[in-house]
Amino acid sequence: MAVPALVGQKKDVGRLKLLLPDLQPQSNFCLLFHYRLAGNKVGKLRVFVKNSNSALAWEKTRSADERWKTGKIQLDPEMDTPKSIIFEAERGKGKTGEIAVDGVLLVSGLCPGGLLSVDG
* Distance separating alpha carbons of residues 73 and 95, to the nearest angstrom: 30
Q: Which fold has domain 2-111?
A: Jelly Rolls (2.60.120)
| First-to-final CA distance of the chain | 27
CA dist., res. 10 & res. 73, Å (int): 27
- Is 100 exposed, middle or buried, given 0-12, 13-18 or 19+ CB atoms closer than 10 A? middle
Give residue-wise pLDDT tens across range 82-115. Answer: 888 999 998 888 777 888 999 999 988 888 885 4
CA–CA separation, 93 and 114 (whole Å): 32
Which strands sit side by side in the sheet containing 117-118, from one edge to the other?
2-4, 98-108, 29-38, 69-75, 117-118
Express each pLDDT in 10-39 by its tens digit: 677 888 898 887 776 667 889 999 999 988
**Strand 84-91 and strand 13-19: pairing?**
antiparallel
This model's pTM is above 0.85: no
Q: What is the DSSP letter of 11?
A: T
- Mean pLDDT of all residues belonging to the chain: 81
